[in-house]
Structure formats: structure tokens, C-alpha cells
A and B are shown apart, each in its own frame.
Chain A
Amino acid sequence: MKLKLHIWRQDNAKTAGKMVSYDANHVSPDMSFLEMLDVLNQELITKGDDPVAFDHDCREGICGACSMVINGIPHGPQRATTTCQLHMRSFKDGDEVYIEPWRAEPFPVIKDLAVDRAALDRIIAAGGFISVGTGAPPDGNAIPIAKEISDLAMDAAACIGCGACVAACPNGSAMLFTAAKVSHLNLLPQGEPEKDQRVINMVAQMDAEGFGNCTNYAECQAACPKEISIQFIAKMNRDLIRAKLREGNNAGSGKTGGA
């Protein structure tokens, strides 16, 4: 089939970008979206043109690299699917396809569709860990955890850090990502001791990076390839309110957070 592509081309964060149109004339419905772009790039290289830069790595829906907004939806029209797992059978012959990078102030464009998502890494570094001595591995199941709680923590831990939630949010908010990362540790006994500091520090980092605020649009959960629910945002808000109240209790102890 044949497609008309409109792709955002931008040399780097300092230059202005623009949409450029391309004809993709040899598209098989069995190709993945990224393979379709590979074919386009091969043609561009053969012609001596600059290929379209885009991020990709695992190509099996687990690394979160393949960031692009396709026809106004991060990762394209199919729900719960990353771009690399999206196939061209989701499109019809003659379709026009708009392809743009994640757009958010904290995600500067590196080139074309590739953006710098280090801001998300810095949010993780602010609290997405547990502090334990790494000695011999503990016995499996030494700490009892209720099935529902471990399932819920697993749902949150499914986040692959792709940033589609930020891209989809009309406010450029990273609340869904941060909520997933806070929740999957805060739900578990291993995360319990640092629960309050974790949520306070990760939210502070999220704000410092310049992400927008949540207005509960729910566009993030619609775009999330791992179907993370905005119920985790409610949980993060709850955790933050509690942590801030307890911080008041501990005032004067010289330390923030704690139980």
C-alpha cells in the first residue's frame, strides 16, 4: 500500500523544526511502523538525503525507546501498543500519517523524532530506589505480601518509562510516570521505610524539571502502552498529602520524612 507521510524534521534543540512530506510507496501491512520508517530511511540514504532520526531499541515493546506521536496519539492509534509493536495493517492505502516527536519543555529535541528523556531518569534518581545492604540474597517469600498488593505493585511496575503519558497530556505533565514509579515501591514492605521521602523527593524533582500539572484529563492512561491507571495518581496524591502532614509532626527532629 501507499502512504503519505508528514514527518517533523529538526536538526537540534536550538533550531526550529518543520513538517516535511514523504511518499511511502512500498508499504506491506505486515511491516511494523518502525520497519516502514527503516525502508523510508534506506530510500533517503540511497538518494543522499538525511535519514529521519528516531529512537528504538528492543522492538518488542519492553524498553520504551520508540517515542513518536502518530496522527496525534503517542505510539499511534492502537491502544496498549508501543510504536515498535504497531503494524501497518492498522493503516489503509492512501492514508496520510503525521509523525511528530514527544512535545514537552523538559524533553528537548535531539534530532527529528528523537528527544532527550533524561528528565525521567532524574525523577527516578530522586527516589525510585530502596536503600538496603546488598549481602547474600534473602530467602524467597521471606517477607509475606498480600496477593492483591503484589499484583497492584506489579501493575505499577509495568511502566517502561517511555514518556507517552507526558506526550499525550495537554499540560505536559509527568504525573502518571511519577505515580507509577512512586507507587510500585510505596505499595511494598521493602519500600515502606522511605515511603514519605520518596514521594516528596520525586514530586519535587518532577516539578523542578518543568513538567506541567495534572488536571485529571486522563489522556495519559489512554496513551500508556502498559495501561497504567490514573488511580495511581490518586494514590500518589494521597501519599504526598500524608507525607507532608507527617513531615510537620517530625519538624525539629532535624530530618524530613520517616514514618
Chain B
Amino acid sequence: MTGVLSFYRTSIGKKVVMAVTGLIGVGFVIGHMLGNLQIYLGAEALNKYAAFLKSTGELLIVVRVVLLTAVILHIIAAVQLTIENRKSRPQRYVKKQHVESTFASRTMRYGGFILLLFIVYHILHFTIGKAPGGPQPFDVHNVYNNVVYGFQNLWVSLFYILAMLALGLHMAHGVWSLFQTLGLNNRRFNRLLRNAALGIGTLLFLGNISIPIAVLVGFLEPVAK
């Protein structure tokens, strides 16, 4: 345990925590999107999938605990690293140019903050059904209708789209960055990893925003039970 703590105390140790917890997040958001896209197979398919997830009992609890722990550790490390980074540049440049850093890399902290707000809202919205602006009526057994009613609120849909933009950008840098942080990168793999990150970020953005857009344009409609 002291070994783990002494590693965490180093700058690189905190980054490794960011990277590992981030990787858990990446795995989750990809799986979650693939699950959600079943909405295009119809209400029955999506509701059956949701019922299946709930039927896993203890496994579901384990997964939720792992995800929650990962998010909390990710945020703690992010805050500590950000505070240290601010301290090391107390006097800012009068003029500063960025040469090679990407927009995605420079907005990790802001995008991450949007994602935090989103995660809280998203759980209240579709898991618990108690979010402001949330789906009316909310029925735990009809996830399909919850999604459709939920996204018929334009403001809610716009917030989701903004959050998915933040997610896409977070991934466009993060997926490459986590391999670099873990030391799993070299000259040969660098291009591949950069492209994979951009691809994953883009697919997550497009795949996820397709759902609120499909609801708003009337392609997905509520079903009678």
C-alpha cells in the first residue's frame, strides 16, 4: 500500500490514475452507446435490453461501484494535477502561441467539467427519473418512451448534444493521451493511436447525438404500451 501511495504522490502516478480510470470510462461509453443504438431496432428491443441489464443483479452493482469509483478517482486526480499545474506558471506570458497542441487537449478540463454536470443530470434524468425537465410520464419499465419523451424537450436535447461534443473532444485527445501516459506509445504506433482517438471521439459524438436528433425531427416516436 505504501508503494501505491508513493507512486500516486509522483506527478506521473497521478497521471496513471487518470489514464486507467479514463480507460474504464472509454470502455463504458463505447459499450453504452452500442447498447443505446438499439433504440433504432424498436421499443421492444431496447426495453428488453434494459430489462436484461437490470436482471444481472449483483453484477450490475459491481459495475456501478467500479464506474463510480473510477469517476471519483479521475476527478480527484484531475483537480490535484490542475492545481499543481497552475502553481508552476504563476506569471502568465504577455503573448503566447500554441504550436502543436490540439484544441481538444487544451479543453480537457472544461470538457471534463461539462461531463461531470452531464453525468449527474443523466442519472437523475433516465435512471432515477427525477431530473428537472425530465420525461413525463416516467416509467422504469419503458425506457424507450422515457428516452423519446425526454428528448422532446428541446433544451434537454441541446444540453445532451453539448455534453456529447465535450465527450467527443475529451476522447479525441484522451484515448491517445492515455496510451502516451501509460508508456504504451512509440514512433510506430503514434499515428495509429492519434487516428484511433479522433475516430472514437467522432463516432461517439455522432452516434450519441443521433438519438436526440431523431426524436426532435420526429423519426422516433413514443409507443403505446
A residues neighboring B (CB under 8 Å) = 6, 8, 19, 69, 71-73, 98, 100, 103-106, 168, 170-173, 203-204, 206-207, 210-219, 221-223, 229-231, 233-241, 244, 247-248, 251
* Contact A212 to B88, CB < 8 A, known contacts A219-B101, A248-B3: yes
Docked complex Cα distance between A229 and B84 (Å): 24
**Across-interface contacts of B165 in A (CB, < 8 A):** none
**Across-interface contacts of A19 in B (CB, < 8 A):** 94
Q: Are A106 and B101 in contact (CB under 8 A)?
A: no
Question: Of all chain A residues, which has the CB nearest B105?
Answer: A217
Q: How many of chain B's residues touch chain A, expressed as a range?
A: 35 or more
Docked complex Cα distance between A171 and B190 (Å): 22
Q: Does B99 reach chain A (CB closer than 8 Å)?
A: yes
Q: Are A103 and B180 in contact (CB under 8 A)?
A: no
Contact pattern, B 74-103, Cβ under 8 Å of A = 1, otherwise 0: 000000010011011111111111111100
Question: Of all chain B residues, which has the CB nearest A200?
Answer: B10
**Across-interface contacts of A173 in B (CB, < 8 A):** 11, 85, 88
Cross-chain pairs A/B with CB under 8 angstroms, 8 sampled: A69-B93, A103-B89, A170-B106, A172-B88, A213-B85, A231-B187, A235-B186, A244-B3
Q: Are B88 and A207 in contact (CB under 8 A)?
A: no
Q: Are B97 and A247 in contact (CB under 8 A)?
A: no
Q: Does B68 reach chain A (CB closer than 8 Å)?
A: no
Question: Of all chain B residues, which has the CB nearest A233?
Answer: B180
**Across-interface contacts of B190 in A (CB, < 8 A):** 231
Residue of B3, B16, B99 most packed against chain A (CB within 10 A) = B99
Q: Are A214 and B15 in contact (CB under 8 A)?
A: yes
Q: Are B88 and A222 in contact (CB under 8 A)?
A: no
Question: Of all chain B residues, which has the CB nearest A244?
Answer: B7
* Contact A210 to B88, CB < 8 A, known contacts A203-B12, A216-B180: yes
Q: Does B184 reach chain A (CB closer than 8 Å)?
A: yes
Question: Of all chain A residues, which has the CB nearest B97?
Answer: A72
Q: Are B7 and A219 in contact (CB under 8 A)?
A: no
Question: Of all chain A residues, which has the CB nearest B90?
Answer: A105
Q: Are B88 and A221 in contact (CB under 8 A)?
A: no
Question: Of all chain B residues, which has the CB nearest A168?
Answer: B99
Q: Does B177 reach chain A (CB closer than 8 Å)?
A: yes
Within the complex, the shortest CB–CB distance from A14 to chain B, in Å, comes to 13
Question: Of all chain B residues, which has the CB nearest A174?
Answer: B88
Within the complex, the shortest CB–CB distance from A228 to chain B, in Å, comes to 13
Q: Are A240 and B105 in contact (CB under 8 A)?
A: no
Within the complex, the shortest CB–CB distance from B186 to chain A, in Å, comes to 5
Docked complex Cα distance between A152 and B195 (Å): 25
Docked complex Cα distance between A216 and B146 (Å): 40
Q: Are B101 and A103 in contact (CB under 8 A)?
A: no
Docked complex Cα distance between A237 and B186 (Å): 12
Docked complex Cα distance between A247 and B14 (Å): 18
**Across-interface contacts of B93 in A (CB, < 8 A):** 69, 72, 100, 103
Q: Does B183 reach chain A (CB closer than 8 Å)?
A: yes
Docked complex Cα distance between A164 and B52 (Å): 56
Q: Does B170 reach chain A (CB closer than 8 Å)?
A: no
Q: Are B100 and A221 in contact (CB under 8 A)?
A: yes
* Contact A104 to B182, CB < 8 A, known contacts A213-B84, A215-B108: no
* Contact A231 to B186, CB < 8 A, known contacts A105-B87, A105-B88: yes
Q: Are A214 and B3 in contact (CB under 8 A)?
A: no
Q: Are B84 and A212 in contact (CB under 8 A)?
A: yes
**Across-interface contacts of B142 in A (CB, < 8 A):** none
Q: Are A216 and B10 in contact (CB under 8 A)?
A: no
* Contact A237 to B12, CB < 8 A, known contacts A216-B105, A223-B99, A231-B185: yes
* Contact A218 to B97, CB < 8 A, known contacts A203-B11, A237-B183, A241-B16: no
**Across-interface contacts of B90 in A (CB, < 8 A):** 105
